[in-house]
Structure 1
Amino acid sequence: MDVFEQWESDVRGYCRIFPTVFKSASNARQVDENGRSYIDFFGGAGVLNFGHNNMRMKKAIIEFLESDGVAHSLDMSTTAKRDFIEAFVETIMKPRSMNYKLQFTGPTGTNAVEAALKIARRVTGRRSVIAFSHGFHGMTLGSLACTANDYFRNAAGVPLENVTRLSFGHPLDGMAEAYADSSSGLDQPAAILVETIQAEGGVNVATREWLKELQQFAKDTGALFIIDDIQAGCGRTGDYFSFDGMGLDPDVICLAKGIGGFGTPLAMNMIKPEHDKHWSPGEHTGTFRGQGISFVAGREALRYFEDGSFLDGVKTKGARMNERLQDIAKQHSVHWFEVRGAGMIQGLDTKDGELSKKVVAACFENGLLIGGCGTAGRVLKLIPPLTISDDDLNEGIDILENAINKVAEAA
């Protein structure tokens, strides 16, 4: 650990929560250099939907490398990209009667959000964006302006402007009328940007009714409706998109994290064709948009969605997670714990950031990687790989339960 302490930047964060040196990983387990195995309920902050070193993806990547596949291509056309696009269209878009252009941005979620904000401003000729309390959209300046957390915002060093903040999940009574009033003093929005499930914000789940109301509000104001599905998408909720079946038709959908499959970076925006035509070539560019390894792994990931069996398993495991967390909350009713989530993103709100921090530490000591989120980190967030075995899932929740019992009894 001395090497990291001496030479790596003090900005590092997760290594302080999990103070060991990891050497290998497989599916839902990581092993440190001392041979200690940890069950992973952190999942690369939502990247590793298909586990560490997924065997199917690893095989495809090795074959790709051994055949001298094009690993880096900017936005040039490659066979790997074509295979990914064709699979995404056939497996995800056509069954949902979707019609979008696919924009591969720089390979991070924050870059996808930046591109979405740019196209919204280009289409509408407006600047202001409506975002929401507890939202998280990234760490670069445009997306950071839409992020609500003061700890992240204060690191910017410059004003974060052109964003109006509304309360997540609260009724929009009178908002359309206020924005229609030329004397209201409100700037007309270029976009309404929302996560259907606020992952980093505390596993806050929006209702279908509110999201429908939000979409109508966007139409009424002439704003683009943008869904940031970067952490909650790609099968995490038991459907491919977190908003499947809600009757929503976003103008832009931001995807990243799990879309690359293997843990290698990839980000993509789905943009309505009538909006995409407002781009001119090269207006949003980046060195790493042609991630060949990620296209190969991402194409393998899409095979999991060719029939409903995989997502049925996600729903079953998600229901089990929720059931166990509800039982834990009942055992500690004096603390008013609250369970929130959908599918295999579940949160236990302890209402106490210090208690949550102690639970995370106790879990690590006993072989479980889990993180806190939300205000003061008070929500314990469970985002294990969707491919986790039943035995590892149950053992992980057992470790969590024991840690909560120990910490709560001492509180």
Structure 2
Amino acid sequence: MTLSSEQLLALHEAVLATFSRSEWQQLGLISGESDYIGSHDRLLRSLDFNDEDYSGHALRAIKRIAEGKGGAWAFLQIPQLRNWLAQEKPAILPALEHLSTQVPPQLVSNAGQLLALAEGVKQTFKEDDWLKLGIISSFADKIEHHPRLLRSLRFGDPDYEGCVMEILGMMEKQSKPVQEILGGFQKLRDWLSENHPDIARSLWASAERANANVSPQPNLGNPQFPPTLPGASQASPSHFDPVPREQTQLFSTEPSLSSLLATVQAVAVGTENATAYHRAVEQLLSTLFAPGLSEPTIEDRLHEGRKRVDITYVNRDAHGFFRWITDHYPPAPYIYVECKNYSADPGNPELDQLTGRFSPKRGRVGLLICRSFTNKDLFIKRCHDSALDDRGFVIPLDDSDLANLVNAKLHEGDDGVVRTLRSRWARLVK
């Protein structure tokens, strides 16, 4: 189906006004373009950091999806976008709705099933379910190495919903339908029967008709679930509500932080153990600062690999210390971390190495993590000098500082982390 230039531009304006990552991932699942959206690094990254080129990337993605099988219909399944059009472009909406009637019924049915399954997965899956799904779907590598899926599940982060849709959308491109692959999960079946009974009946009835001709899939506790989905009835896509944090928090924060801190402290000092220390620090910081700092990149390559940084985090903090940094010392889209497993104090070369990774676009805030200081005051003064010379802000933290942060988190929550880091920050700028 072909959209006019006026209709395309109206969709573009609506997307710019209403879309976050989650809406893009939902659109990908509905339209069958999850692979394209997930692999379009600049589209989502430029959205995250409000870059100037986001508008152009968005327009190209909108045009591609609008010219596909789902056309305008796929966009109108996003409630925020539809509501925005109804309010801001009331003359355009009826024409888009008319075009939506031309979408193939099977696409509508399939999208409704996928969204219901995604909602069910979000509500019922634990980490071991994802690992089992990886084994039976040949998606183990994508699931285990996805930068956010399992981590956002563990901590109840709001981007977990989008990660679920991204993975299911990619699985949909396989020869075996994702509906079939998910069939062996009993809790998912039960949830669908209770919350989307029409879709559940459609899936099971169609499988019974096809069962004689299809070999059963590997079973995870439900041999009766249908292996195929011919003739599924039409269903309208639904939009999920956020899952309460307590429903997706698999592990309590306290033992996790305590054990991760112990792992850092147990690494023997010395350059021969640098990698082990580096990895242990990443696990601790990623838990301590979640969900504000996310998507850690290990050994991040800058300038085509001519420079590297031990860990780069995306700063998505909405309420904590790193949001305060964004508000008062912008820009800070990334936070950089260097880890030094030295027996001696870090000096000017280590400080200069980290500040050399800063830039006006990437941000000018970093953490220098080390084992201990014989003269911590001297190094903090060096960091103060760097800030006064406009070379960026480096927060030094040794093992004892990390222990203080963990203790503050366990006893005071995020407020304790903010208080502790603000105290160290004050010594950099006053």
Between Structure 1 and Structure 2, whose CA radius of gyration is higher?
Answer: 2
Q: TM-score, normalised by structure 1?
A: 0.26
The structure with the largest helix share of the pair is 2
Q: TM-score, normalised by structure 2?
A: 0.25
The structure with the largest strand share of the pair is 1
